[in-house]
Amino acid sequence: MKENPASVLKVPNSRGSIVGSSMPPLPIGVPATLVALAMVLPIVYLAVRTLGAGSETWDLLFRSRTLEIILRTLLLIVTVSAACVVLAVPLAWLTVRTDLPFRRLWAILVSLPIVIPSYIGAFLIIVALGPRGMLQDALEWAFSVERLPDIYGFPGAFLSLTLLSYPYVLLTVSAGLWKLDASLEEASRNLGSGRWRTFFQVTLPQLKPSITAGALLVGLYTLSDFGAVSLLQYETLTAAIFIQYESALDRTIAAALSMVLVVMALLIIVMEAGTRARFKYFGSTPGPERPAPLVPLGRWRWPAMGYCALVVLASLAIPVAILLYWVVRGFSSEESMSFVWGATWSSFYVSALSAAVIAVAALPVAIMVVRYPSYIANVIERLSYVGFALPGITIALALVFFTSNFASPLYQSLLLLVFAYVVLFLPTALGSIRASLLQISPKLEEAARGLGSSPVHAFCIITIPLLRSGIFAGAALAFLLTMKELPATLILGPLGFTTLATSVWSAATEAMFAQAAVASLLLVLVSSVPMGFIVFRGRQPG
Amino acid sequence: MNMVGRCKFLLALAATVLMIGAISFACGGGGDTITVYSGRSENLVQPVLDRFEEETGISVLVNYASTSQVTATILEEGDSSPADVVFLQDPGFLGVLSSEVKLASLPNDILNKVDGRYRARNGEWVGTSGRARTVVYNTENIDPETDLPDSILGFIDPVWKGRIGWPPQNASFQAFVTGMRVMLGDDETRKWLEGIQANDPRSYPKNTPTVLAASNGEIDVGFVNHYYLHRFLESEGDGFGARNHYIGNGDPGALLLTAGAGIMRTSENKEQGERFIRFLLSPETQEYFASETFEYPLAGEVPDQEGLLPLDQLDPPDIDLSDLSDAQGTLDLLRDTGILP
């Protein structure tokens, strides 16, 4: 066999793979395959169990009521996504492309609500806007208003999810705006179009892919949300599944409804992938994109600031103020708050543990995908992203069924809970590690191997140190998401295990608002540590 | 810097963390330990468990969930369930466990601590405290003398449209519906449920928010257990805007339920489990239930509690609590009528 000079030199291609070595060494290939298989195990079992269910379950599933629940879920998804786009696109444009005063500060402030979990938002909406809530009391005192319009049901669910999830659209659209080629806009302006016309006919159409991507993220978030819709009594699929799970003796219906939820999530993902393939926007020249000049706002800067301030007020300032009010009230009323320390510790260590496991599990998959691309690597990558599409409640139910039938010692063990977190949040960490790995040239590693190191040894001494910050960012994200996760923790938590998330939940459902507020505040504080790390890292050059 | 060393160190660290997690989980069993599955809430039960641990040296692992969830969990776990003792909110689900052959017979000295009305016919569970079904009402909008119907059945009148609240996921609520089915049959019960449903009731996840909503005027009446109100009266004072109405007259709405406990047939710690149930029925714990949770003590002498209608004046319907075991039938009915999803 003739030696190919390229394989002798092992010239890396631009994607960071090692040419001529598509077979990964066993210490990489075997764990990567195992991780990928573990990711799909729960959902496969759920499908098997549902398909094997008796006709009685199918009758229950195909009732008009199921359709009603699906339609209600769709209504919320569509309206929340649309509202988020309307809210976020102007914010993105103002903070990226105009000379809005303090625009960097505004950019941070308007993206912060993403750290507030939906169930905390919902509980704050109930204490603030609920019947006999704080606003009602104030209005009654000032204007003797007897009754506010009902916040339970659709209005509350819509409001809480919109105010907390618009940052998803904001972040994707801002990224889209940064990458936008300014020359198209300039051409439009040079041809005599006004600013508004240019915005609507040139800028907005180019932003379509990022708007769609953001809206679909919001859709997925709304679909899998459990806390807000349950607290605000808007019965979507996740809420129905949980009520079924909690109150029914036969859990097969919950399993069947979960499959409906999975199908809806997959449809959203397919739609997202479809739009990504359909929209292709290229710059007019192959050269580097030029940053667009900032649009002067002139006297419009005052209403623009007012708009930003309004959004920050509604989605961040008021919620935090209410939270603090109830915390103070809670501590002054001598209500026992001792529960909160145990919950904080549980939250912290289970999140740290799952972040560590996730980072370790994601590493071989990332290496396999980036360094040894092949058909199999591609399949492994796809499988590892499965958790991204699956709502926490479905993973939790799947694991309950699986362990109570096949591995009962694991049932309600910490191990199982951590496993659920790994399935749910590995995709996020994987994305971060994979992106970092792509930026590291395999040349150095190859040099080490040329000097006699084994592939694994070379990777350990050369790439791991360079990859450190990517791994930490991935782990930080996983930590944050684990900390906030509610339904999986509620369902799979071991004996007597309470975290901050479950404390907020149980206190809020018992209408013990002061306790819920204290746990919420701690949750937001503890999660802001990794969040700060991620933001800080994102702002560093390179 | 030795990178291989660091790499190995990180791996070892990860492995250690995993091991510690696994060991701390595995060390749960063994020694004098019992596992309690509690369908009663943590803030109610934990102080009792703490006292028990302190007095007996037996450590208690406890799993809190809703009563129906505990039952479903045990059914799903089958014979490998780690539970030794179940402590549930209502007799219905204890009846389910008993008819699924999950519970062991309790010794006579435990059973005889309570009146025959408050324990299972087959001696597999025992009531630990009594809770009366009541109608909680808003004191501003309702005058209990004139505004409330004589029977819970009267609330299907359209004048109650938009004024009712209930917690349909709650086990005690479901036991009350089961009781109505035992008394009036499925057809009448379905009619009542549909009648209430036509009045657009507000559904709450639990009793506590239902009572709070009645005091807020969010609803005018709610169908709940009696003691939640008294917890609010204690913390909020007499200004709290809701009170209980006891229907009496042997009405389905005046059912007297018991929280109760049983021992798992598969338990390997039956003796410790029995000690735990004896502890629940001891004067000390019965006194706690009376003074802290405002339930009716069932074992020993029952002194009248301030502000509570005495047990012998409740006039509940004459139902054997062992007959409330068709929880599944009630769940099906609640699902059929669209009250549960």
Q: Best mutation site among A56, A57, A66, A249 for testing chain B: the one with the most B CBs within 10 Å?
A: A249
Q: In the prediction, which pLDDT does B31 show?
A: 57
Average pLDDT over residues A203-226: 88
Give B6's pLDDT tier (boundaries 50, 70, 90): low
pLDDT digits (tens, 9 = 90+) for A373-413: 888 888 888 888 878 778 888 898 889 888 877 776 777 78
d(Cα A324, Cα A518) in Å, to the nearest integer?
8
| Distance from C-alpha of B150 to C-alpha of B153, rounded to nearest angstrom | 8
- pLDDT per residue as tens digits for the range A83-125: 999 999 999 999 988 899 998 899 889 988 888 899 999 989 9
Whole-number Å distance between alpha carbons of A482 and A530: 12
Please count the residues of chain A: 542
Residue A251 has pLDDT above 80, yes or no: no
Across the strands, what pairs with B263? B85
**Is A150 part of the contact surface with chain B (CB cutoff 8 Å)?**
no
Q: Which residues contact A109 (CB under 8 A, 6 or more apart)?
A: A308, A312, A316
Least confident of A53-67, A299-313, B68-82, B195-209: A53-67
Confidence class for position A537, pLDDT limits 50, 70, 90: low
* CA separation for the pair A6, A3 (Å, rounded): 9
| pLDDT, tens digit, 9 for 90 and up, residues A351-374 | 999 999 999 999 999 988 888 888
Tokens of A36: 């990928």
Is the pLDDT at B339 greater than 60? The verdict is yes
> Residue B77: what pLDDT?
78
Q: pLDDT tier at A459 (50, 70, 90 boundaries)?
A: confident
pLDDT above 70 covers what percent of chain A?
A: 89
* Candidate from B42-46, B88-92, B152-156 with smallest mean pLDDT: B42-46
Mean pLDDT across the stretch B220-226? 96
- Rounded CA Rg of chain A: 25
Band the pLDDT of A146: cuts 50, 70, 90.
Answer: low
**What CA–CA distance (Å, rounded) separates A198 from A189?**
7
Residue with the bigger pLDDT between A389 and B87: it is B87
Nearest CA in chain A to B15: A357
Q: Which of A249, A227, A247 is nearest to A238 (CA)?
A: A227
Say how far apart CA B87 and CA B90 lie, in whole Å: 9
Of the two residues A291 and B219, the one the predictor is more confident about is B219
Confirm or reject contact between A408 and chain B (CB < 8 A). yes
Contacts of A411 in chain B (CB under 8 A): 77
Average pLDDT of the residues in A189-204:
81
Largest CA distance in chain A: 92
CB contact under 8 A, B75 and A408: no
Q: What is the pLDDT of residue A26?
A: 80
Q: Closest CB to B218: pick one of A132, A247, A464.
A: A132
Tell me what pLDDT residue A432 has.
Answer: 85
Q: How far apart are CA A242 and CA A231, in angstroms?
A: 12
Chain A, nearest residue to B10 by Cα = A360
Q: Does A461 touch chain B (CB under 8 A)?
A: yes
User: For chain A, what is the mean pLDDT?
Assistant: 82
Report the predicted TM-score, pTM, of the whole model to 2 decimal places: 0.81
Partner-chain contact A509 B7, CB within 8 Å: no
pLDDT for B271-323, tens place per residue? Answer: 999 999 999 999 999 988 888 888 999 987 767 677 788 888 889 999 999 99
Contact criterion met (CB below 8 Å) for B250 and B68: no
Closest partner residue to B206 (CB to CB) among A65, A69, A509 is: A509
Identify the weakest region by mean pLDDT among A39-53, A420-434, B89-103, B207-221.
A39-53
pLDDT-based confidence at residue B58 (cuts at 50, 70, 90): very high
Do the chains contact at A418 and B62, CB–CB below 8 Å?
Answer: no
Judge whether residue A287 has pLDDT over 50.
no
| Confidence category of residue B11, pLDDT binned at 50, 70, 90 | low
pLDDT winner (highest mean) among A113-122, A234-243, B117-126: B117-126
Kindly report, residue by residue over A297-331, the tens digit of the pLDDT.
888 889 999 999 999 999 999 999 999 998 888 77
Residue B3 has pLDDT above 70, yes or no: no
Residue B245: partners with Cβ closer than 8 Å, 6 or more residues away: B134, B135, B136, B137, B144, B148
**What is the pLDDT at residue B16?**
54
Task: Say how many C-beta atoms besides its own lie within 10 A of residue B153's C-beta.
Answer: 19
Whether residue A277 is predicted with pLDDT greater than 70 in this model: the reply is: no
Q: Is A152 on the interface with B (CB under 8 A)?
A: yes
Grade residue B25 by pLDDT with cuts at 50, 70 and 90.
very low
* Mean pLDDT for chain B overall: 87
What is the per-residue pLDDT for A51?
Answer: 80
The predicted pLDDT at position B4 comes to 52
Give the count of alpha carbons within 13 A of A153, CB side only.
Answer: 7
Window B:108-147, CB contacts with A under 8 Å: none
CA distance A532 to chain B (A): 24
Task: Specify the higher pLDDT residue, B21 or A93.
Answer: A93
B251 pLDDT more than 60: yes
Substitution target from B34, B43, B96 for chain A, most A beta carbons within 10 A: B43
